[in-house]
């Protein structure tokens, strides 16, 4: 195993898109940021130096950071922010993981421009469990705002209303030629006839689940969230913010230029699609004058596609890569996830939109929760997060008045070391129904079941897939439905769990687990590094 070192300078850079120029926060002046390459078993040291006038913190999304939450990155959860002029070294050990993940700023909405891919190669002499590609490329899907993103958020918070939608989707930071002034802001991937390409696709968008397809070419899904899957072929993929998907593409069509495109899956028939990002797959030797055609993408409200696509995702579950699904459950959790309304004296109308889990809107602490836990600092959080909602109601067809107001608190759930946890996330329609991509830090989990309507405790568990369910770190809870996940709590620390739609996270759709230390010498949280930022 090797030690890899990276230097990340947080700095502003002027970038123009859609005929607007503005300074954005970047890593090393790059947008998207640099790719972190490593091999399974490596130690990666990333020194982050903050030269910008913003507090910063970087999260290594999907890396488990075993016993070492100090390197996880969410601000005020596992560390205090890196202040202007300061540095912090993320000391990351990559064990038992290989594939595509990503890193992003984990403070306010700064991940809008501060993100990049993490590529973990398998151990030496360990081939992929699928046909070896000739070449590979990263495809990072994102969003672009013409306005300053922080300003957009400030306005939203003041009014208590959703901030403006972004102005475009992007592929590798570029919206593509369907937008004004964007001809030169188009990502082009050159391919050679008969070669096979591995695309490492990341959804780094702030608020949109996305469909992605390439005109004329099939995509073979081989991995999600850095876990190998049973390969299947599809004309389009669906990917939620936070998720990654590796696909194989064969350059086996008439040599030409083909669009690849990404647009939102929004569930809402009202959604106006004016944000489709396009990039070009260009066969070698074909002139730039050839006009590409757009791929067929599922309609923005195509829930049938979403359901059937997600149902095809299965862990590879081979002898070499078994799916170790917990069969017995020590701790059953049931969390409702929904939007609500809270009073807000400074807001328009005196109320503001809010979000909650089990009716609790999470309040960000002033001190890192991991520090508070490790050093037993009192008064920062409580561990009385309820295992189920305070009152049962008809979650998916509740009257607008049920449970609409929420309780504020920094309440966490305490989990015994190595216990097996089943968590059912139940979407509610208190205000509107939305799909919520939930991300758990420090773990992968198995998605053992999902369904529409209310979760039925007596009938639904019988239908769980305990053999080869998809294993991932971010999962969509369907609109007006539920998703059940299982994991073994073998990673001690404080681990954030939240909706990866930045809008909902900022409204409080988040909580954290305190996983206790085990008895063994190697089953407790490692001591914090000396340079850990203080608040």
- Binding residues for ligand C2O, rule: CB under 6 A, are 59, 61, 74, 104, 106, 242, 439, 441, 496, 498, 500
User: What DSSP character marks residue 350?
Assistant: G
Pick between residue 74 and residue 142 the one whose CB is nearest to ligand C2O. Answer: 74
- In three-state secondary structure terms, 528 is coil
* Residue 244 Cβ vs ligand C2O, minimum distance, rounded to whole Å: 11
Cis before 18? omega within 30: no
Pick between residue 259 and residue 385 the one whose CB is nearest to ligand C2O. Answer: 385
Pick between residue 174 and residue 439 the one whose CB is nearest to ligand C2O. Answer: 439
* Residue 117 Cβ vs ligand C2O, minimum distance, rounded to whole Å: 13
Q: Cα–Cα distance between 465 and 449 in angstroms, integer?
A: 6
Pick between residue 59 and residue 217 the one whose CB is nearest to ligand C2O. Answer: 59
Q: Which H or E run contains 152? A: helix 149-159
Pick between residue 403 and residue 474 the one whose CB is nearest to ligand C2O. Answer: 474
From the list 309, 336, 280, 382, the residue with the least C-alpha distance to 509 is 336
Evaluate whether 38 touches 44 at the Cβ level (below 8 Å): yes
Pick between residue 60 and residue 482 the one whose CB is nearest to ligand C2O. Answer: 60
Phi, psi at 348, each rounded to 5°: -55, 140
Pick between residue 59 and residue 411 the one whose CB is nearest to ligand C2O. Answer: 59
Evaluate whether 313 touches 221 at the Cβ level (below 8 Å): yes
Q: Cα–Cα distance between 338 and 345 in angstroms, integer?
A: 22
- Which segments within 159-236 are labelled E, that is strand? 168-171, 188-191, 196-203, 209-214, 219-224, 227-234
Phi, psi at 306, each rounded to 5°: -60, -45
* Residue 529 Cβ vs ligand C2O, minimum distance, rounded to whole Å: 20
Pick between residue 106 and residue 504 the one whose CB is nearest to ligand C2O. Answer: 106
* Residue 62 Cβ vs ligand C2O, minimum distance, rounded to whole Å: 8
* Residue 515 Cβ vs ligand C2O, minimum distance, rounded to whole Å: 16
* Residue 500 Cβ vs ligand C2O, minimum distance, rounded to whole Å: 6
Pick between residue 242 and residue 481 the one whose CB is nearest to ligand C2O. Answer: 242
Looking at 254-363, list the stretches that DSSP marks H as alpha helix, in order from N- to C-terminal side. Answer: 303-312
Q: Which two tokens stand for residue 202?
A: 């990341």
Task: Name the closest residue to ligand C2O (Cβ).
Answer: 61
CA 258 to chain centre: 28
* Residue 512 Cβ vs ligand C2O, minimum distance, rounded to whole Å: 10
* Residue 207 Cβ vs ligand C2O, minimum distance, rounded to whole Å: 13
Through-space distance between the first and last CA atoms of the chain, rounded to whole angstroms: 34
From the list 302, 171, 300, 317, the residue with the least C-alpha distance to 230 is 317
* Residue 79 Cβ vs ligand C2O, minimum distance, rounded to whole Å: 13
Q: Cα–Cα distance between 282 and 215 in angstroms, integer?
A: 11
């Amino acid at each position: 195993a090797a030690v890899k070192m990276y230097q990340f300078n947080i700095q502003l850079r002027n970038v123009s898109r859609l005929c607007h120029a503005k300074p954005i926060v970047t890593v090393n002046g790059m947008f998207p940021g640099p790719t972190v390459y490593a091999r399974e078993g490596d130690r990666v040291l990333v020194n982050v130096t903050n030269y910008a006038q913003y507090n910063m913190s970087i999260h290594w999304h999907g890396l488990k950071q075993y016993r070492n939450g100090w390197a996880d990155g969410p601000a005020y959860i596992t560390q205090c922010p890196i202040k202007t002029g300061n540095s912090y070294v993320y000391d990351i050990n990559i064990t038992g993981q290989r594939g595509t993940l990503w890193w992003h700023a984990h403070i306010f909405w700064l991940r809008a421009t501060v993100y990049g891919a993490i590529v973990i190669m398998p151990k030496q002499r360990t081939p992929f469990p699928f046909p070896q590609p000739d070449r590979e490329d990263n495809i990072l899907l994102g969003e672009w705002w013409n306005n300053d993103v922080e300003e957009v958020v400030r306005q939203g918070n003041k009014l208590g209303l959703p901030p403006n939608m972004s102005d475009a989707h992007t592929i590798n930071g570029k919206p593509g030629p369907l937008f004004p002034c964007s001809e030169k802001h188009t990502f082009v991937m050159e391919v050679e006839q008969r070669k096979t390409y591995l695309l490492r696709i990341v959804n780094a968008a702030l608020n949109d689940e996305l469909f992605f397809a390439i005109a004329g070419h099939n995509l073979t899904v081989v991995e999600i969230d850095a876990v190998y899957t049973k390969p299947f072929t599809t004309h389009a993929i669906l990917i939620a913010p936070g998720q990654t998907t590796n696909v194989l593409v064969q350059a086996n069509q008439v040599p030409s230029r083909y669009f690849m495109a990404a647009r939102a899956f929004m569930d809402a028939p009202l959604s106006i699609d004016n944000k489709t990002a396009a990039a070009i797959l260009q066969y070698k030797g074909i002139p730039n004058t050839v006009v590409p055609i757009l791929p067929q993408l599922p309609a923005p409200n195509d829930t049938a596609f979403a359901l059937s696509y997600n149902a095809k995702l299965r862990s590879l579950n081979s002898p070499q890569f078994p799916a170790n699904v917990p069969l017995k459950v020590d701790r059953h959790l049931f969390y409702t996830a929904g939007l609500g309304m809270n009073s807000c004296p400074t807001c328009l109308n005196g109320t503001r939109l809010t979000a909650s889990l089990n009716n609790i809107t999470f309040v960000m602490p002033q001190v890192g929760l991991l520090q508070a836990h490790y050093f037993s600092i009192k008064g920062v959080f409580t561990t009385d997060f309820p295992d189920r909602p305070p009152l049962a109601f008809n979650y998916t067809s509740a009257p607008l008045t049920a449970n609409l107001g929420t309780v504020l608190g920094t309440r966490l759930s305490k989990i015994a070391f190595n216990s097996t946890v089943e968590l059912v996330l139940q979407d509610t329609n208190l205000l509107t129904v939305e799909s919520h991509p939930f991300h758990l830090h420090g773990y992968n989990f198995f998605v053992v079941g999902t369904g529409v309507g209310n979760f039925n405790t007596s009938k639904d568990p019988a239908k769980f897939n305990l053999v080869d369910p998809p294993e991932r770190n971010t999962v969509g809870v369907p609109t007006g439905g539920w998703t059940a996940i299982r994991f073994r709590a073998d990673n001690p620390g404080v681990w954030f769990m939240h909706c990866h739609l930045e809008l909902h996270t900022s409204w409080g759709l988040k909580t954290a687990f305190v996983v206790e230390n085990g008895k063994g010498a190697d089953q407790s949280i490692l001591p914090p590094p000396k340079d850990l930022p203080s608040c």
